[in-house]
Amino acid sequence: MKRIRIKEEYCIGCRLCEVHCIAAHGKYKNDLIKTFKRDCNRPSPRIVIEEKEDTCFALPCRHCREAFCIRSCLTGSMTRDPETRLVHNEVERCVGCWTCIAACPYGAIVREGRHTKIAAKCDLCGQDPACVKHCPNDAIVYEEVGEDDHYDACNHR
Amino acid sequence: MTHVIIGNSAAAVGAVEGIRQLDKESPVILITEEPHHTYSRPLISYLLSGKVTAEKMNYRPEDFYVKNHITTMFGRKAAAVDINAKAVILEDGGRVTYGTLLIATGSKPVALKLPGIDSESIFPFYTMKDAFALKQFIRDGMKAVVLGAGLTALKAAEALTTSGVETTLVVRSRILRNFLDPGATEKLSLHLSENGLHLAIGSEPVGITGENNGLSVRLTDGRILACDFVVSAVGIEPNKELIEGVQIATEHGILVDQALRTNVPGIYAAGDVAQGLDLLTGCQRVIPLLPVAYAQGEAAGRNMAGGNAVYAGMNMNAISFFGLPLISAGVIHEEPADEVYLQKSQTEKMYRKLVIRQNRVVGYVLVEQIDRAGLLTWLIREKVNITGFKATLIDGSFNHACLPPKLRREKIAL
């Protein structure tokens, strides 16, 4: 089971992770120029830079083992993949009620775009996260975690 | 040990998942009055407006019960519980014995007592069946009166308006007063009016007259609203008929402790029928919201399967009307000793209220700018002491980088 680990000490807040996340989830897959020049309804980044003064780090969905978003979802669109254990939003069933946004302790679920009433979140880009690939400092790394690793804040509830 | 669940909505589904997390083997029997698969009740207004089709109403996939090895008894009404024999008696005479029992019978609409309320043109709006009946009936250009000021009434009124029905919402006091403070209500009311929904605030219906050629709803302020039909959604109450005369302790709902246990060993309750622990007050309170119902059901299920789960709920609500999103959680109406911080835009719909009590965030209301609301919900739920970063909460710049390093590392496992 691989997850994104955050290395606060290496992050310089360049926001390339956000840029590549947007491009990876847009209609011009991974093409930065087309995504930012042509797609006026391009997706929201599923990873955000948390920043105050000298502190910054990138934060995507933790795929919590006890996920508040899944429990709170009104339609049942927020589910856990039985194989990968990833938290996944089935967009066909999502109605954009934003209850997951109210529930997520990490603020890691976003409104998809300006005109799309769908909740969007990190899907680890199908096991090859664009944010990690393009981070110049290895401030986010994609690595194996154990079932019992302390990984999210919700795992003992 | 056989686990029996009465109900088929969020709490029941939560219980199925909670039981199966710990116990893959024991028989589970689910008894439900409604003759179909589990569906998402909050979606009935989306069904009415056509935003969601009947197939997408399912709260869980079609194969959910099969995959979880659940014996379903759809369309069978539980009529009584015999706690001595440990059996559920069905209305049709059937009998189901249980080792553990979960009562998840939900709530039912409050019946409005009003002269003329028996008219055929007065619709309830609570079940999928109600939504289908209303959808069949409505035509573009009709006029409707919706009675009620809660989530259901407002979502019904919105769906009718978007379906081309000229709709007036009759509100006794204030819309969504359980979820919004007066400032947010003001923003929402303006937005509803701008989108063509008429509001009759501060009045109550006193009677309904007329039949096929149209109804007249008379209000306390003397107004008479002419319409083709009325939707009554004035409130809900716990559906606890099943346990009348049984030694299960109730107040407004069925009283349960933090483990969702009733006073009778082996019997649990969850969802709208349960009066469980409120995280903020420590008192028992019915919190009829889907996320609470699911979480209570899941915790009850784990405990039925021998686990050791506890749960306390709180207000948390996200809702949109005509594209305007609103989220609120925790304490909406402050007490005199609380600190309140407001941000609002004079021209836009943006509104933000933060309630702080003894250096903890205890509640918030957000209109329009709702992004990352969950950070605030987390502060409430975990009762985080905000000394040191309170200013960032007040000015709205709060994010994880504002947290003290130790707390940040614990939360995010940096």
User: Does the pLDDT value for residue B378 go beyond 50?
Assistant: yes
3-class SS of residue B259: coil
Distance CA A120, CA A140 (A): 20
B122-234 and B326-412: same fold? no
* pLDDT score for A154: 45
Domain-wise residue ranges, chain B: 3-108+237-304, 122-234, 326-412
Q: Which residue has the higher pLDDT, B196 or A117?
A: B196
**CA–CA distances in Å: residue A156 to residues A65, A66, A153, B411:** 9, 8, 8, 12
Are the CB atoms for A64 and A87 separated by under 8 Å? yes
Per residue in A15-39, pLDDT tens? 999 999 999 999 999 999 999 999 9
Contacts with A7 from chain B: Cβ below 8 Å? 414
- With contact defined as beta carbons under 8 Å apart, do B176 and B166 qualify? no
User: B39 CA to chain A: closest CA distance, Å?
Assistant: 8
Bridge partners (DSSP) of residue B108 are B237
Instruction: Indicate if the pLDDT at residue B309 is higher than 80.
Output: yes
- At residue B216, does pLDDT exceed 70? yes
Q: Return the CATH class of domain B3-108+237-304.
A: alpha beta
Read off the tokens for B186. Answer: 């003001």
Side chain identity, residue B120: E
Domains present along chain A, CATH in parentheses? 1-61+127-147 (3.30.70.20), 63-121 (3.30.70.20)
Confidence of residue B212 (pLDDT cuts 50, 70, 90): low
pLDDT at site A156: 36
Residue A4 to residue B43: CA distance in whole angstroms: 34
Residue B247 predicted with pLDDT over 60: yes
What CATH number is given for B122-234 in this structure? 3.50.50.60
User: Cα B89 from chain centroid?
Assistant: 28
Enumerate the H helices of chain A as residue ranges.
16-25, 32-38, 68-72, 99-103, 130-134
Q: Which residues of A touch B319 (CB under 8 A)?
A: 97
Residues B90-109 as b or e (16 or more Cβ within 10 Å = b): beeeeebebebbbbbbbbbb
Taking an 8 Å cut-off on Cβ atoms, the answer to whether B290 and A74 are in contact is yes
Q: Where are the alpha helices (DSSP H) in B224-289?
A: none
Nearest residue in chain B measured CA to CA from A106: B375
Sign, CA dihedral B9-B379-A96-A67, equals negative
User: What are the chain B neighbours of A75 within 8 Å (beta carbons)?
Assistant: 40, 43, 56, 59
Protein fold of B326-412: Enolase-like; domain 1 (3.30.390)
What is the per-residue pLDDT across B261-304, written as a single tens digit (0 to 9) for each?
999 999 999 999 999 999 999 999 999 999 999 999 999 999 99
CA distance B226 to B209: 10
- Provide the percentage of residues in chain B whose pLDDT is more than 70: 99
List CB contacts (< 8 A) between B320 and chain A: 96-98, 117
Model's pTM, two decimal places? 0.95
Region B47-69: mean pLDDT is: 95
Contact criterion met (CB < 8 Å) for A72 and B46: no
Mean pLDDT in chain B? 95
